[in-house]
């Protein structure tokens, strides 16, 4: 009996020993597997970070490459232009813009390209996290006589500039975003009937271009004097949009009948007039001054080389027959954003990628305004009572959605991108948002 019990005990101990060995081996294998999994996760995180960094570098290198290519093409085109036959040159001058003015534009464009390459956002420029944390810090009622909705707001250029001009009905109000108060108000009266466009002149906090929504009157209005400096009669029936060329003193005005004209404000004369095949709803010139974007009432967006105005590039619209409602170039001229009447999306065209595009959706809400920041990295879109903020590294998804509490007609960044000024479409109210 004792011998049998001894054998059973030995067998049990052997099984326990074997189980302990197997357990120890399993623990070692599990520990090794967990170590490998942790190492793999770290490698994946590192590779994802390197991927984002490389994509950013690729984007920047692509932009620089395209800028260099444009410069080389411009330089190569100069001798060829000089060798063109006399008859062909006469025809080009007749159909396009004066060759001396084109030369000035090209020289200025070269300077602007060089400046743009050297311009970088300051180290303390707002981040996505800071912009996403913006809240309403001030609200003001412009107290206009009819309390109509605000058509457009425009921010004065220049570091430290604080004023925006807001247009409602026949009135212009200058609002100081630092004082959070209206500092100037003017009624343009029967000369405009209803304001359609109101924008500050480049590098000015006094002069505003004002276009009527009901006739072909366009005025250079001085807000400090509360008086018109000059009145321009647009070539068409009703002026629909205005854009300033980088060459000081020259402005392009588009009309509903499909015509657009280049004006010399200093000498108060029309230099050239042209006509498109459909009514023009929007017109914008590239920050370098040599590319012109025209939005038509049939939904098409045309891209012209302003030097010869021949064979425009036609950008694909999301829907035919829907008028273009907004057009804006990014500050560095790499992107063109467009919106269409009644559509809940805006389309961002990459001009350095053969006009490839990305659609930014507002999920059933009609887009009412578009605005890039001063360095072209952020895009703000407005629809209904919200604004959405996008970053150029991922146009498809907004990094922030801000609720304004009223239907937004127009919204802009201030020059430092520390504030957003939004206007109501239903009353004369402004809201200022900030993260500070």
Q: Which among 76-85, 196-205, 319-328 has the top mean pLDDT?
A: 319-328
Neighbours of 54 (CB within 10 A): 10
Q: Which two tokens stand for residue 120?
A: 């970088």
What pLDDT shows up at residue 14? 87
pLDDT mean over 257-273:
90
Q: What is the pTM of this model?
A: 0.76
Lowest average pLDDT, out of 67-71, 146-150, 164-168, goes to 67-71
* 48-106: pLDDT as tens digits: 888 878 887 887 777 777 666 666 555 544 443 433 333 333 333 335 677 888 899 99
Question: Could you tell me the residue ranges of all domains in the chain?
Answer: 1-83, 128-434
Distances (CA, A) of 413 to 6, 83, 91, 126, 395: 89, 46, 43, 12, 18
What pLDDT shows up at residue 134? 95
pLDDT mean over 145-151:
83
pLDDT mean over 356-367:
91
* 100-135: pLDDT as tens digits: 888 999 999 999 888 888 888 888 999 999 999 999
β partners of residue 380: 371, 389
**pLDDT averaged over the chain?**
86
Pairing of strands 291-296, 301-305: antiparallel
Q: Is 414 exposed, middle or buried (0-12, 13-18, 19+ CB in 10 A)?
A: buried
> What homologous superfamily is domain 128-434 in, according to CATH?
YVTN repeat-like/Quinoprotein amine dehydrogenase (2.130.10.10)
* pLDDT surpasses 70 at 287: yes
pLDDT mean over 193-211:
88
What pLDDT shows up at residue 8? 84
* pLDDT surpasses 70 at 147: yes
What pLDDT shows up at residue 318? 92
pLDDT mean over 8-23:
87
**Are the beta carbons of 115 and 395 closer than 8 angstroms?**
no
pLDDT mean over 204-219:
86
Q: Which residue has the higher pLDDT, 170 or 385?
A: 385
Nearest-Å Rg of the Cα atoms of the chain is 30
**Are the beta carbons of 352 and 334 closer than 8 angstroms?**
yes
What pLDDT shows up at residue 2? 81
* pLDDT surpasses 60 at 281: yes
**H or E stretch including 172?**
strand 171-176
What pLDDT shows up at residue 74? 55
pLDDT mean over 178-200:
86
């Amino acid at each position: 009996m004792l011998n049998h019990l001894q054998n059973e005990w030995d067998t049990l101990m052997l099984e326990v020993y074997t189980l302990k060995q197997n357990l120890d081996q399993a623990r070692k294998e599990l520990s090794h597997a967990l170590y490998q999994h942790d190492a793999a996760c770290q490698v994946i995180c590192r590779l994802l970070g390197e991927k984002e960094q490389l994509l950013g570098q690729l984007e920047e290198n692509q932009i620089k490459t395209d800028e260099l290519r444009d410069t080389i093409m411009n330089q190569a085109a100069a001798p060829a232009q000089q060798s063109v036959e006399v008859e062909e040159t006469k025809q080009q001058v007749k159909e396009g813009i004066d060759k001396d003015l084109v030369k000035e534009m090209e020289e200025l464009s070269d300077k602007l390209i060089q400046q743009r390459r050297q311009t970088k956002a300051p180290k303390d420029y707002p981040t996505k996290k800071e912009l996403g944390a913006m809240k309403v810090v001030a609200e003001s009622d412009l107290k206009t006589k009819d309390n109509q909705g605000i058509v457009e707001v425009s921010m004065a250029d220049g570091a430290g500039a604080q004023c925006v001009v807001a247009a409602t009905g026949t009135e212009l109000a200058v609002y100081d975003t630092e004082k959070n108060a209206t500092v100037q108000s003017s009624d343009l009266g029967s000369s405009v009937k209803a304001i359609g466009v109101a924008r500050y002149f480049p590098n000015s906090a006094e002069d505003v271009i004002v276009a009527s929504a009901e006739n072909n009157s366009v005025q250079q209005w001085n807000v400090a004097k509360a008086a018109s400096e000059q009145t321009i009669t647009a070539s068409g029936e009703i002026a629909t949009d205005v854009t300033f060329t980088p060459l000081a003193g020259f402005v392009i005005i588009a009309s509903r009948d499909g015509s657009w004209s280049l004006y010399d404000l200093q000498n108060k004369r029309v230099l050239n007039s042209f006509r498109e095949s459909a009514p023009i709803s929007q017109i914008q010139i590239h920050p370098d001054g040599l590319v012109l974007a025209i939005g038509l009432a049939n939904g098409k967006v045309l891209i012209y080389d302003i030097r010869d105005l021949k064979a425009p590039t036609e950008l694909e619209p999301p829907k035919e027959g829907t008028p273009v409602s907004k057009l804006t170039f990014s500050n560095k001229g790499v992107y063109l954003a467009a919106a269409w009447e009644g559509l809940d999306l805006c389309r961002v065209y990459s001009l350095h990628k053969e006009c490839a595009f990305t659609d930014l959706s507002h999920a059933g809400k009609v887009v009412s305004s578009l605005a890039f920041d001063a360095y072209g990295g952020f895009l703000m879109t407005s629809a209904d009572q919200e604004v959405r903020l996008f970053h150029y590294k991922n146009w498809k998804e907004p990094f922030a959605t801000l609720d304004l509490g009223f239907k937004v007609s127009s919204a802009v960044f201030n020059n430092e991108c520390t504030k957003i000024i939004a206007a109501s479409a239903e009353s004369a109210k402004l809201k200022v948002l900030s993260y500070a």
